[in-house]
Structure 1
Amino acid sequence: MSLPLTESNKSKSTNPPQRRRTSEHLTLIRKEINFLQYPYFAVHTKGLKKKHRVEFRQVFPACRGHSGRPACRSGREDNGRKLKACWTVIAHPDYGYPGPFDRRVNMTVEYIASQMPLPIANPIRLGSWYEFCRLMGVEPDQWHYNEVKKAIQRMIMTEIEAKHTFYHKGKQKWIEEMFHLYDHYTQKGDVLDDGSIADTNYLYLNSWYIDNLNARYAKLLDYDYYKSVEPIASRLYEILGLKFYRVLKDPHVNFIQYRYSTLCQLLPVKRHIYQSHASRQFASAHNELLQTKFLNKVKWDSIPHLKDDWYITYYPGEKCHDEMSQLTDAHPATPEAVALPQVDVAPDCRQEVGKDIATENRRD
């Protein structure tokens, strides 16, 4: 069964397609690859107060090189056995899980960091809360000042547990520790780490995160476009843009294919068991990406012997091709990023995700 969604039959949108822009007019931000690839923020406020963790697990099959020793393409080795990789985001019970507003705050931080010449170093100068809110695009009032500070504190307190999922480009190794995206922040008048007095607000990012940005382990994104589309669409823009970078370099491949259940984990969103509900869940985001020409076509296909999962095939559009040809500073993903292997789902995540195999870059 195939349900194509193309430029000719997609539902009409009240928003006109955005104009194409040349690279000189693009406002760019650097997105660190690990945080681009794996879930961190909730994309909706619905159910946010009850969300405490998001867990994404992968199982890599054993693979061997010519010498007989384990030699996985990803660089992960475990004596020839299946290797389990995990990315877990754990909210602090007193601060809650990072949501859409926190994501907008982080976008603004990424924008500020992207304006800094490499190599960048802590602390990141945020400016006054008035300046930050104006840059973020929200009303610069006391309520928003407080919300921004709460969001930053929430990300400081949110833990990430990585096992064979966070790749440190400089050290060329996988980090297996618990860490935070933000370390701490100081406000005007506070004492900075070097002992000086802060003249404005500053943020200290995770050192590994900064190391990867400095190692150019990042993907450049069109910041204005990134902000303009709805949350699920912008998250798909992150995920698909990362994969399309490699697809467009291969003349034999012209699409990306995911399992619906895998995308539910990566976004992350609730998984539905009926195709009508699943397609409705993604319809608005797909239509927006089609209208703005980031995608040329989206196709749903059934999976043999499975009634509650489907393949979603994505074909890059005009904007995607333009971005990839213009943004020459973009960099490839982690060594295994082209193929997501089998996903072994944690018991407490079964309501939102399922056990599946993601297939990408399948040939026609």
Structure 2
Amino acid sequence: MTENVALVPEVVGAASETEQQRPQLTLVPTRITEGRDELNLAEWPLSALSDKSDPSIKTIYFEDKIFDRSRNEYIPRRVTITGSDAFGLPTPLDEEVLLALIQLSKAHGFTSKRVYFNRYQLLQILKLPANGQNYKRIEQALNRWMGVTMYYKNAWRDRKTQSWVDESFHMLERVKIVTDERHSASSDTTSYFEWNEAVFKSFQNGNVKALNYDFFLSIESAIAKRLYR
């Protein structure tokens, strides 16, 4: 049986300047059973549990205590998530979009902070119909992840040093969305996003785990999806 694939642009090779500016197409299965999840992002909730959260609430936080073997003591951990005035806090669907971006990066081998894509293929990976409403939802999700600030206090695991550290960042550093994708032959006319350095380093350091992404999408409840991760 032939597996359906989504074509996702990727910059490969190092030949000529012209070739470098022309993203090639990488095949990404639309049915992803061997997906990946970043361990820090999987451990803590990143959004409210409803798509209809109170717009007046711009900050949420989660905290706990964990035993740190290197210190031989329990340490408090806290994650604070602050949304922008324009776009607010992330929603459960925004988390799904973020997880889809991780699958795109995994398909690219976690080799670059910048990942080229187009909106239609992203909707395929999310198993959402290609219509105006869903195109808008993707754009909203990307804008939220640009605007949200994450504050990890003793809560970001540095795999390289095997320690809990403080990190503060925006999930995405840059997003470019090309709405006319009929002529996306070069990097100037192709959508892309760029991970924050802290997240990208975590990918490269192997701080990821296997995830049956296709099964994840089949789960209906946002709470059940969070527990599965």
1:38 partner letter: W
1:27 matched to 2:33? The reply is yes
Q: Deviations over 1:2-38 (max 9, x none)?
A: xxxxxxxxxxxxxxxxxxxxxxx96222111111001
1:125 partner letter: Y
2:82 is matched with 90
Q: Deviations over 1:282-338 (max 9, x none)?
A: xxxxxxxxxxxxxxxxxxxxxxxxxxxxxxxxxxxxxxxxxxxxxxxxxxxxxxxxx
2:103 is matched with 111
What is the distance in 2 between the residues matched to 1:149 and 1:177? 26
Q: Could you tell me the TM-score, scaled by structure 1's length? A: 0.48
What is the distance in 2 between the residues matched to 1:137 and 1:26? 11
* CA shift in 2, pair 1:110/1:60, >3 Å: closer
Q: Could you tell me the TM-score, scaled by structure 2's length? A: 0.74
2:84 alignment partner, SS class: coil
Picking from 173, 196, 213, the partner of 2:203 is 213
The residue correspondences of 1:188-337 to structure 2 (distance < 5 A) are: 188=178, 197-230=187-220, 231-238=222-229
Equivalent residues of 1:187, 1:198 under 8 A apart: no
2:115 is matched with 124
Q: Deviations over 1:77-110 (max 9, x none)?
A: 7xx7x74321111111221110022122112212
Higher-strand-fraction structure: 2
1:143 is matched with 133
What is the distance in 2 between the residues matched to 1:233 and 1:59? 23
Equivalent residues of 1:89, 1:159 under 8 A apart: yes
Equivalent residues of 2:96, 2:126 under 8 A apart: yes
Equivalent residues of 1:45, 1:100 under 8 A apart: yes
* CA shift in 2, pair 1:223/1:168, >3 Å: same
* CA shift in 2, pair 1:55/1:135, >3 Å: same
1:55 is matched with 61
Aligned residue pairs: how many?
A: 192
Equivalent residues of 2:145, 2:170 under 8 A apart: yes
Equivalent residues of 2:149, 2:168 under 8 A apart: yes
Gaps of 5+ in 1: 1-24, 62-71, 190-195, 239-364
Equivalent residues of 1:76, 1:164 under 8 A apart: no
What is the distance in 2 between the residues matched to 1:147 and 1:101? 9
1:111 alignment partner, SS class: helix
Percent identical pairs in the alignment equals: 21
Equivalent residues of 1:42, 1:48 under 8 A apart: no
What is the distance in 1 between the residues matched to 2:102 and 2:66? 32
What is the distance in 2 between the residues matched to 1:237 and 1:160? 22
